[in-house]
Amino acid sequence: MGRFVYWMNVSLDLRIEQVPGDNGGGEWLRIGEELHREFNARARALAGMVQGRVIYETMEEFWPRAREDASLPDFMREYGEIWTSAPKVLVSRTRSRADHDTRVIGGDDAIEQLARLKAETDGTLGVGGATIATQLLRAGLLDELLLFTHPAILGSGRPLFDDMDRQIDLDLIEQRSFPDGVTMHHYAIRQTSPW
């Protein structure tokens, strides 16, 4: 059985975007070479990626072209190759097809389809997108959080999760510091029973 790991860059106040349309980007992020190489190593080790539509379309717009863009550093071209060739699942109600080794699922049974995917997978499935991560958490399917915290307080914007109506307890698995004040915290979700 696989594990769902929600992997996200966050501010100190657990925001993933400052203004609508940032879609996981923004000037507040401090992603240097060492941190990017960490992303590459972790992404390469994934059995697959599960992404909501907004995150997927943001990635789809940039990373396939990045792998052949000689103006970019090698570690960014490498991530472009990793993302493009990795098996992916796009969770969307509005799209029915996608390229780059991507399967599209949607509809009212999307969480049930993701539960089957988890049961059939050997390894880690990286999760991108607050909406899908919240749904997986509420269904008791999210196993871990991998947060890269950037030294910024945004004050407003998209939170890491949608509103919750109960406390979720975590256990710290690992932590690490990177240049520019970025810290990684990897947590196991202690309770994964459905709401």
Secondary element (H or E) of residue 118: helix 110-120
Range(s) of the domain holding residue 133: 3-189
What pLDDT does 69 receive? 97
Q: Tell me whether residue 195 is in a domain.
A: no
The pLDDT tens digits for 89-140 are 999 999 999 999 999 999 899 999 999 999 999 999 999 999 999 999 999 9
Which range is least confidently modeled, 19-28, 32-41, 126-135, 154-163? 19-28
The pLDDT tens digits for 43-62 are 999 999 999 998 999 999 99
DSSP 179: G
DSSP 67: T
Q: Tell me whether residue 24 is in a domain.
A: yes
Which range is least confidently modeled, 12-26, 64-78, 88-102, 141-155? 12-26
Is 81 exposed, middle or buried (CB count within 10 Å of its CB: 0-12, 13-18, 19+)?
A: middle
Give dist(CA 49, CA 124) in Å, integer: 9
User: Which CATH number characterizes residue 65's domain?
Assistant: 3.40.430.10
Q: Tell me whether residue 163 is in a domain.
A: yes
Q: Tell me whether residue 179 is in a domain.
A: yes
Q: Tell me whether residue 194 is in a domain.
A: no
What pLDDT does 194 receive? 54
What pLDDT does 107 receive? 87
Q: Tell me whether residue 81 is in a domain.
A: yes
20 φ/ψ angles, rounded to the nearest 5 degrees: -55, 135
pTM (2 d.p.):
0.92
Number of domains in the chain: 1
Give dist(CA 174, CA 195) in Å, integer: 27
